[in-house]
Chain A
Amino acid sequence: MDGVFDQLLTTAFLATFIRSTVPLLLTALGGLFSERSGVVNIALDGLIIFGALAGAVSTKLLEPSLGAAAPWAGWLFGMLVGGLIAWIHAVLSIKYRANQVISGTAINLLASGVPAVLLTALYGVSNESPKVERALPLWGVAELRFSPPVYFAFLAVAVTWYVMYRTPFGLRLRATGEQPGAAASMGVNVSRMRYSAVILSGVLAGTAGVFLSIGNLDSYVRNISAGGGFIALAALIFGQWKPLGVLAATLLFGLLQALSIVLGGNDILPPTLMQALPYLITILALIFTGRSRAPKALGTPYGG
């Protein structure tokens, strides 16, 4: 057993830990904006997939002409596509008063079909994109070298906290999620706040996808998110819809994922069962979350 602890005290493990945390963190922050404005966003997992796909494919297509700038353009496209798909969810749940869980599920179902059709049309294979020549650069020292979205993610926590609690936009956003009627009576445009929050969540989840496809790997592969969007959603609940709570929760889930990766290579538990660990802990975490402090208007359409 000593060998296991030695493995956990290395910088390699720290790197794995951070790489597992970042997509969850970015996605959960995106979810934070959306749900704080009162729109349930179960589409996060699909948004990660769309972001990852757009990042990998656009980088591959732009490489010949843009060279070193291609992955950055890929990141931009990943964010744009994430935001665009989130906009669909926003239109359905805000304008057409769709059941937000069903609308989000529809996006997730789309994310299981669109990549295969697109990749078949472009490259003739359905489950992965060809490897990009240039992925996002790695910054850092020795083994702790990460691609830019990693630094962006931790920066985003601070920015999110500031925006949420120190700017008029944040105040209006929180009011929209708690009491849309009251917010509207104070002159806040509820549906515009919700649109911007949901699109922002798509941009952040898209970034998480870009990190997975060209920041961590160098291509899009089928099922790249591995349910990360749902775990991020659970982390959002576990973190009680607060930026710092979300940071703590995603660090916990990231640690568990890293553990299941490292321990999977050991002979303590069957590796296939170890893979279930983060999901089981997610269920447990939801049990032990105290009575909820969810935004009061979460899941309810406004006006119309």
Chain B
Amino acid sequence: MTHVSHSRPSGDAARIALIACAVAIAGMLLAPLATLGRGFSADAILLHISGSVMNLSSSQDAPVHPTAAVLALAWATLASLVATVAGAVTRQRWFWLTGLLAFALAVAAVFTLGGALNDEINRISADTALRPGAKRQLRNFYSSGGMNLGLFLPALAGLIAAGAGLSQFSRAWAALNRLRGLLVPAAAIGLAVLVGAVVVLIVQPAVNESGLPLTFWNGWMAKADLVYFVYSTLFAPVTAFGPLLDSLKIATPLIFTGLSVAFAFRTGLFNIGAPGQLTMGAIGAMLVGVYGPSGLGWGLLPLSVLAAAAGGALWGAIPGLLKARFGSSEVINTIMLNYVASSIFVFMIGSESFPFLGRTYTQPFKAQGSNPQSELLQEGSRLPPLLDLLNVGGSGQRTVSIGLLVAAVVFFAGRLLLRGRKYGALIAGVAAAVLAAVTWRIGIPVDVTGSRLNGSFLIALACVALFGTLMWRTATGYALRAVGLSPRAAEYGGISVARGTILAMTIAGAFAGLAGTHYVNGGALNEYRLTLNTPVNVGFDGIAVALMGQSTPAGVVASSVLFGTIDTGSINVQQKLDKVSNDIVTILKALIVLFIAAGGFLSRRVTDPPPPPLVAETDRTGKPEQASLDSSAAHLERSTPLPNVGQSSEQIKREGDK
């Protein structure tokens, strides 16, 4: 690392900073800076960087507070963005500083604005002349305000520019390089959001409740605001505790199905059968939960959970077996089995009776009544809501134990501190368990009722741990990954590809089957039973989750929570805008898969950037071909794997695949 002092940001890094900042400048000039207030149907008072205020809301007489400080900060942000662009054009060493400054100024503007809006809210609360209804309405009006595209884009661009500029330093480059696995998913999300924005712009006319005609400029501002509104509403559930619990509830089955697809993926198999496996798992859980021996009490719950895993495992094992024995494509077979599972599902709980060879029999599994559903599960086989499970307060009082949170924090901190030590993970695990037991009685009071987040979330987390351990800490996992990377080499190395295929599909099926516990045992659909409206298509979402998580356990959890969030937020979007349905989220997920398959359209020079010494040497000699790395840097370069599981890097083909 002797050349560090000579290095400048690489040409590509400078170009990335340049593009990001140019887009942000355009955004500041052409989009609203902030929303000063927002009514129920997304109508807003918008502030532009020029200081002009556009009131498109239904409350025309709403007072507008002074915004001079926000505007001043915004202009300063704009100036630092321009400086960053100038620095990036000439590949200066300092442009990371101005980028960081732009980020800081934009954030400061956001907080200043938040303070001003808070003052307004406090003033309304103190106003005794207002009726309670009007008070609430006005309070909501101002609390829905906040930053808009004109502050969000500079903050984002400032961060990107700072990162790109810092990559000139070897240490920062190494730190960023470890994160490059996030690059393709992040680019895919960015592109999907962009295309989704175009869709929103086309289908939804500008919201204007003011009754005044829109000029071209105002119309454009309203449209730009619309895009920001849709996305801020989609991602809003992470910011509050109650909606966050809802998001985690929706994320739970996604974790299961995402793990399922990811597990098969690691073995080089594509499992599109998660919906069918989920269905069979739910049926298994229902059969044991309803008809199991009632004498077992709570002992019935583990049996029911195991039955869910077994049902899914069976439905995964069939295509695995067919692939291993007859070479028939698991892609087609899993899809076919989805339809078969759906038939069985409808057959079991769809109607009272069925004909067979000319005679009519009554269907034993369907509950009496007009609704297509099974009987209620026995008490002993129900998974309690998570908040009840963690409740350490007395009856009638909701106090959530902090034990689990402490355990998670301690475990990850311990892992970080003891990295490289022998038994580091074990020590961290034991410490986490001990501290969790100690802090279990300490709780935080919360006032959230009716959350359907249930114990299956903990099962999902256990599955995540199981996935990681099995895949990366056991001989079986090693064999499976070898099969996934190159079946022929694995076979040559003495690993049975057939056995690996069956095993991987069985375990993948079991993961997807366990998602059934969320709906049946966990009562996520409001009743502890199997109903026909179980959204089995979350199995397909598992594909998007696995791809976005790049088939790693942590990635699957993160992308499940993200998808759970936008699924929750989409309901709000649908309520407030008349032309945008919540299916927009389905399109976003599909686009994310599409863009990950295309590698985020990122060039190799971005996903696999040259290290600073190489850049410095190229700069000095002007001949990129002759630049070389010293051995330690070359080793570091080799040891970081290329990102993106969605692209075919080499030919992975099995003998006789059909």
Contacts and interface: CB of A to CB of B under 8 A. Distances in A.
Are A and B physically bound partners? Answer: yes
Interface string A287-302: 1010110100001110
Interface stretch (A5-13, A98-106, A164-172, A202-210): A98-106
B128 interface: no
Interface string A97-119: 11111110111011011101110
B581 A105 contact: no
A266 B648 CA distance: 49
24 contacts: A88-B594, A96-B601, A97-B647, A98-B598, A98-B648, A101-B270, A106-B593, A109-B589, A113-B585, A117-B199, A117-B581, A117-B583, A120-B583, A121-B580, A126-B581, A227-B336, A237-B332, A275-B339, A286-B328, A286-B329, A289-B328, A292-B327, A294-B657, A300-B653
A42 B330 CA distance: 12
A168 B591 CA distance: 37
Interface stretch (B151-159, B387-395, B539-547): B539-547
Given A96-B599, A109-B586, 17 more contacts: A42-B331, A98-B598, A98-B599, A101-B331, A102-B593, A110-B591, A116-B583, A120-B203, A126-B581, A266-B355, A276-B343, A276-B344, A279-B336, A279-B339, A283-B333, A286-B333, A292-B327
B590 A121 contact: no
B320 interface: no
B419 interface: no
Interface in B300-346: 322, 326-329, 331-333, 335-337, 339-340, 343-344, 346
Contacts of A271: 354-355
Interface residues of B, number: 63
B340 A99 contact: no
Nearest to A126: B581
Contact of B658 (A116, A279, A283, A292): A292
Contact of B347 (A233, A270, A283): A270
Contacts of A287: 322, 326, 328
A268 B359 CA distance: 8
Contact of A103 (B332, B339, B354, B597): B597
Contacts of A266: 355
Nearest to A233: B332
A102 to B, nearest CB: 4
Contact of B598 (A96, A237, A291): A96
A121 B339 contact: no
B646 interface: yes
A289 B327 CA distance: 10
Nearest to A292: B658
A88 B540 CA distance: 20
B440 to A, nearest CB: 42
Interface centre among B270, B343, B355 (most CB of A within 10 A): B343
B360 interface: yes
Nearest to B205: A121
B239 to A, nearest CB: 26
B272 A126 contact: no
Nearest 8 CB-CB pairings of A with B: A113-B586, A267-B355, A109-B590, A276-B343, A116-B583, A121-B203, A98-B597, A106-B594
A3 to B, nearest CB: 10
A269 B88 CA distance: 72
A165 B147 CA distance: 63
B212 interface: no
A141 interface: no
B593 to A, nearest CB: 4
Contacts of B357: 267-269
Interface string B352-366: 001111111000000
A294 B653 CA distance: 12
B656 interface: yes
B355 A270 contact: yes
A280 B344 CA distance: 12
A102 B646 CA distance: 7
A269 B596 CA distance: 45
A79 B335 CA distance: 25
B30 interface: no
A102 B645 CA distance: 10
A283 B322 contact: yes
B543 A113 contact: no
B547 A102 contact: yes
B350 interface: yes
Contacts of B359: 267
Contacts of A289: 328, 658
Nearest to A100: B648
A77 interface: no
B264 to A, nearest CB: 12
Contacts of A299: 648, 653
A230 interface: yes
B590 A112 contact: yes
Interface in B483-523: none
A294 B658 CA distance: 7
B90 interface: no
A113 B332 CA distance: 21
Interface in B592-627: 593-594, 596-599, 601
Contact of A105 (B322, B344, B543, B579): B543
B335 A227 contact: yes
B458 interface: no
Contact of B597 (A106, A270, A280): A106
Contacts of A273: 343-344, 347
B647 A109 contact: no
B350 A272 contact: yes
A99 B648 contact: yes
A227 B590 CA distance: 18
Nearest to B599: A96
A237 B329 CA distance: 10
A252 interface: no
Nearest to B335: A230
Contact of B337 (A99, A107, A283, A300): A283
A295 B29 CA distance: 55
Contacts of B653: 299-300
A109 B543 contact: yes
Given A96-B598, A116-B581, A283-B322, A300 B354 contact: no
A217 interface: no
Nearest to A266: B355
A300 B657 CA distance: 13
Interface in B163-217: 199, 202-204
A287 B319 CA distance: 11
B658 A286 contact: yes
B647 A112 contact: no
Given A270-B356, A280-B340, A287-B328, A117 B646 contact: no
Interface centre among B199, B540, B598 (most CB of A within 10 A): B598
B345 to A, nearest CB: 9
Contacts of A88: 594
B584 interface: yes
B647 A98 contact: yes
A173 B584 CA distance: 38
B555 to A, nearest CB: 16
Interface in B617-658: 646-648, 651, 653, 656-658
B470 interface: no
Contacts of B658: 237, 286, 289, 291-292, 294
Contact of A276 (B340, B590, B593): B340
Interface in B275-309: none
A268 B355 CA distance: 6
A21 interface: no
B587 interface: yes
B336 A283 contact: yes
